[in-house]
Amino acid sequence: MSDSRKDLGLQRDNKHMLGKLGVIAVAMFGFGYAMVPMYKSICEALGINILSRSEQLDAGVTGKANTQVDTSRTITVEFDANARGPWDFKPAQSSVQVHPGEVTTVMYEFRNVQNRTMSAQAIPSYAPKQAMAHFNKLECFCFNQYTLAPGESKRWPVVFVIDPKLSKDVTTITLSYTFFEVGSKTPAAPVTGSAAPVLRQGVRS
């Protein structure tokens, strides 16, 4: 009888322990599930930007509101393209007007007019030079090298946002790309005005 009572007591203790563990597991799951809306509510109340990279890209395409957009300022962004080789390379539009903090998407067009396959990459430059630190590219074809077949055409996006901390004296920014064949000598910086910076040797992403 003594052993039977011990077994019954042990079974009871095990059941109680399993019950406690089950309650703890449910509580932890509920707490983790509730953390997401709580975190968003706290960030929104404090004015902290909680957009993920994908959400930022969606905002640029669908026009979703960004609470950090400075609508009191408008900056003209001009686009330039320089091809170091026999191919077509140009922006789909020459300029856009944006507000600091606003996510914007612009397309560039490229066509390999040669009768051979080629690999190439683009390097950017900015004018005025001080704009470089405040011109944030979320997505850009200049991050990668590309191989194009003879006659092949491509359209590539540049998704960017200008930091509201950019000096208010800057009202126009020129973004210039030089497209060159990989393996050849890095080309000189394109001429985008007297403020155009000198590009360093090598490819920057």
Q: Within a domain: residue 89?
A: yes
Count Cβ atoms below 10 Å from residue 124 Cβ, excluding itself.
Answer: 19
Domain harbouring 151, CATH code: 2.60.370.10
Same domain, 71 and 166: yes
Whole-model pTM: value is 0.57
- Parent domain of 22: 1-50
| Mean pLDDT calculated for residue range 22-45 | 52
Mean pLDDT of the chain, nearest integer: 74
Tokens of 199: 């590009």
What is the Cα–Cα distance from 57 to 53, expressed in whole angstroms? 6
Cβ neighbours around 176 below 10 Å, total: 24
CB 124 within 8 A of CB 171: no
pLDDT digits (tens, 9 = 90+) for 38-89: 544 544 444 444 344 444 444 444 444 445 899 999 999 999 998 877 778 9
Verify that 115 and 155 share a domain, yes or no: yes
- What backbone torsions phi and psi does residue 68 show, to the nearest 5 degrees? -100, 10
Report the alpha-carbon distance of residue 180 to residue 8 in Å, rounded.
81
Domain count, the chain: 2
**In the predicted structure, residue 154 carries a pLDDT above the cut 80:** yes
